[in-house]
Amino acid sequence: MKKRGRFKFKLKTWQLLLLLVPLLFVDATLLRLDHIRMTELRSAVLKADEEGDEEKITQSLEELKKFVFSNVVINIVEENGVYRVAFGTGPFNLEYQYKRAANAALEEAEKNMTSDANPNGNIYAAASAICQPLAIANGWSWDNPNYVDCMVTEINKYPATNEIQDKIMANIPDTGLYRKNYASPIWAPTLTGFMLLLTLIIIVVIFIRVIIWVILRLSLLFI
């Protein structure tokens, strides 16, 4: 019996509280490192998007998804001026990829609208006559979203044939397709995940012990 008693190990509540302090620091550090890694991978995606390397965009997105889906990533995201805690990357846009797709659609529209088959004449030139001075005055480049929106708005003012109009609407991409938001799990089997689990267990044990102590103290008052 004495020999078995040597292996008995039990931490007191105050010892658990002391252990909890460095554990919380370690948890915060690991979560911070995971957040930094996610930010680096997300920045790589945005850089590839700006450079216009479609293959690199796809590869970077896969690396970002793989990391986020297999790690606990806590992030502070802003939506309509309100900040909240979220698990994952938070929403981000492939802005340049959308610009390239939108301008490709406008170029296709230009080919259709300047052809002899278009009963409304050179609609693209008419739209450009309005939008280009605005672009010069406001410093818009040819791939600026404001310029793209201006061209689309002006083009849509003309009663184009159904065939041309359908092609424009089909080619102009939906901005939602270029908006990404990858969510991470609340817990994952990583070093960060196991440290968080250990911390949670200790907090639960401390909480239960405090509840038991309070109940015992209250019961003594009625004895």
The pLDDT, as a whole number, for residue 154 is 79
- Whole-number Å distance between alpha carbons of 102 and 90: 24
Q: How far is CA 180 from CA 40, 89, 123, in A?
A: 16, 9, 34
The pLDDT, as a whole number, for residue 167 is 59
pLDDT average, residue stretch 131-152: 82
| pTM for the predicted model, two decimal places | 0.70
Closest CA to 42 of 98, 97, 90, 101: 90
For 222, residues 6+ apart whose C-beta sits below 8 A from its C-beta are: none
Residue 2 has pLDDT above 50, yes or no: no
Domain boundary assignment for the chain? 17-91+181-221, 96-175
Residues 115-126: pLDDT tens digits? Answer: 545 555 567 777
- Whole-number Å distance between alpha carbons of 168 and 108: 8
Closest CA to 173 of 113, 94, 55: 94
- Whole-number Å distance between alpha carbons of 172 and 152: 9
- pLDDT class for 161, splitting at 50, 70, 90? very low
Q: Name which residue leads in pLDDT, 66 or 76.
A: 66
Interhelix angle for 13-51 vs 191-221, to 10°? 150
The percent of residues in the chain predicted with pLDDT above 90, rounded, is 44
The dihedrals phi and psi of 108, each to the nearest 5 degrees, come to -65, -40
Residue 81 has pLDDT above 70, yes or no: yes
The dihedrals phi and psi of 10, each to the nearest 5 degrees, come to -145, 125
pLDDT average, residue stretch 16-37: 94
By the 8 A CB rule, do 148 and 99 touch? Answer: yes
Closest CA to 124 of 168, 170, 162: 168
Q: Name which residue leads in pLDDT, 116 or 138.
A: 138
The dihedrals phi and psi of 92, each to the nearest 5 degrees, come to -145, 155
